Amino acid sequence: MSPSSLLLSSPAASITESRRRPMSMTTTSVRRVSSLALLDGARELVIQHQGNEYHLRLTRNDKLILTK
C-alpha cells in the first residue's frame, strides 16, 4: 500500500474529506488577484480594513509579508 492510500483510508482523512466544500462552490466564490496586478510595480501596498492599516510588502526574496 502506498503512503498516500494510507492517508486516504485513515478515519481522520475521511472526516476531513466530508467537511470540504464542493469544488463548484470554492472556485466561484473566491476572487483571485495577481500580486503583480495588486502591487502595480510597487514593493509595498497599504490595505485599509475597519479603521486599521495593513502593509503588504514584497521582499527581496519575492515573498509577500502582511503586517499591521
Query: Which three cell numbers, joined as nine digits, stand for 57?
Result: 510588502
Q: Check if the beta carbon of residue 54 is closer than 8 Å to that of residue 66.
A: yes
Residues of the chain with pLDDT under 50: 2-10, 13-14
Q: Check if the beta carbon of residue 20 is closer than 8 Å to that of residue 35.
A: no
Q: What is the pLDDT of residues 48-61, one digit of tens each?
A: 999 999 999 999 99
**In angstroms, rounded to a whole number, what is the distance separating the alpha carbons of residues 43 and 62?**
10
Q: Check if the beta carbon of residue 13 is closer than 8 Å to that of residue 7.
A: yes
Using only C-alpha atoms, the chain has a radius of gyration, in whole angstroms, of 19
Query: Domains of the chain (ranges plus CATH)?
Result: 3-67 (2.10.70.10)
